Structure 1
């Protein structure tokens, strides 16, 4: 099998790095750089262990897109720090680290991709959907991206790092089927997530329907659309309590799929070069390393990028 296209869910990874490493890791000016160091170290591990032919750091151009908020106003509402600016609540000591991360990616020539009005998930969904040559691996701590897994035309896997890189799980259609009892391909996971909901994203789900019940219903009927049609037609295979819950949550059910499903057709804005390995402006990278006291994590990443 050819070397994969690796897609990094960047914000997910640097948030996790921030909380995993101590803020005592600081630059000479006293600013914490724990997220930068952790993120750099993780990318180095990804390149070394997954051996991608291409690597893309996918970014949020809009962490809470208007089209999702219009569909479900509660979407990520609990994370809003400044409603007027639609600004996300981010730890004060993480915010100044993000520009350093972007500078480091730029110095290394690591490709970034974002799409105006969309989240990194949508960029990942689009790049994975349209890849027709190589296998795809999505590196993330977000289960929402399980909906991207597939076998054809090229396999897409999620390398789930929710418990850290040392406990990373490679999730494909077989793992989705085994863990959730869902059909092994495509939108079944997203359909289940609509019913289950996700309080961390402000998605209420359907009252009385947890993950197991949602998975059983989607598996029985094949898709959310088929399930809703059966409920509307009074199909006796849909329990009365479920039909009543659907009627009570009709507006949510009409809008939630647009929120939960990742886009697969966004227009990406690019920087850098996804192809690995390659030559890098070593002096510039080392200057950033020394300026911010990023240590051996950057050395490992530089070596990994250069092959």
Structure 2
């Protein structure tokens, strides 16, 4: 069982009692397992705060400051029973690149023979500091060789059968993990900052994108395939934007059902224009789900857990 210790508490207080309990939470109280999309959070912190924030020795600490601020808000406001920071062991996994070579290709550092990510020079030295902070306050970290943090989160969320799960991220890709059963999984989306954070479950996700509530997570993933994501090198289907993608998934219920209608050629809900666009994108549509869908069976390595 993963038990993260979010930090010191007042002597005898409820947080200390929870941490001393074998389950990592107070008896009779269901507190969420909170999963942090660490790289997403520190990248966003880096770009949100000025690089003029430095340590006395001149080391930039803007990403550290922003990440710690978010971590503090999570600890004080989300009532986590367990807390895990999920990391990228591989930012551009080979199985995704094999399916779609354009995946994150534009983010590979120029001249990098080993495919390293193009990371700002002033962010690179801050990542070890962030990991030290996590270790110092007793927060577990998890990763999986050959997989991204999204896959670690997808796997931990899929496995959880005891407590509700909250995923804290600035990445919409993780909307697909929401569910109600067997244990609730919600996404706390902080892509626009903590003050504008959105807590999304299946109902909220369905309302936001006009998707079916049943299977809203999978429906979102299907919509994401159709829409594409230039920031990740996913072209999407030419001529189909977010609204049309959401409409297609909303009308047919799933990406598989949309593609079945394309090949059947008889469903009048599918316009000639949409059918033509989808037929022209068959190779992409065959490959993209491998890239978009998060893994739920990644081989996890957890550090700092009891």
TM-score range, shorter chain: 0.7 to 0.9
Q: What is the CA deviation profile of residues 108-144 of structure 1, one whole-angstrom value per residue up to 9, with x for unaligned ones?
A: 2210000000000000011111111111000000011
Q: Equivalent of 1:193, from 224, 243, 246?
A: 224
Q: Name the residue aligned to 1:22.
A: 50
Q: Name the residue aligned to 1:139.
A: 168
After TM superposition, the score normalised by the length of structure 2 is 0.87
Q: What is the CA deviation profile of residues 26-56 of structure 1, one whole-angstrom value per residue up to 9, with x for unaligned ones?
A: 1222111111121112111101000100000
SS at match of 2:34: strand
Distance 1:214 1:3 in 2: 36
Q: Name the residue aligned to 1:267.
A: 299
Q: Equivalent of 2:197, from 153, 168, 174?
A: 168
Distance 2:267 2:153 in 1: 39
SS at match of 2:283: helix
Distance 2:282 2:275 in 1: 10
Structure 1 spans left out of the alignment, 5+ residues? 275-307
1:1-307 to 2 correspondences below 5 Å? 2-82=30-110, 83-184=112-213, 185-237=216-268, 238-273=270-305
> CA offset at residue 226 of structure 1?
1.4
> CA offset at residue 20 of structure 1?
1.6
> CA offset at residue 3 of structure 1?
0.6
SS at match of 2:90: coil
Distance 2:233 2:262 in 1: 25
> CA offset at residue 106 of structure 1?
1.7
SS at match of 1:186: helix
Give the aligned CA root-mean-square deviation in angstroms: 1.2
SS at match of 1:81: coil
More helix by share: 1
Which stretches of structure 1, 4 residues or more, deviate above 3 A after TM superposition?
Answer: none
Distance 1:22 1:214 in 2: 37
* Structure with more contact order per residue of length (Cα contacts < 8 Å, sep ≥ 6): 1
After TM superposition, the score normalised by the length of structure 1 is 0.87
Distance 1:153 1:261 in 2: 20
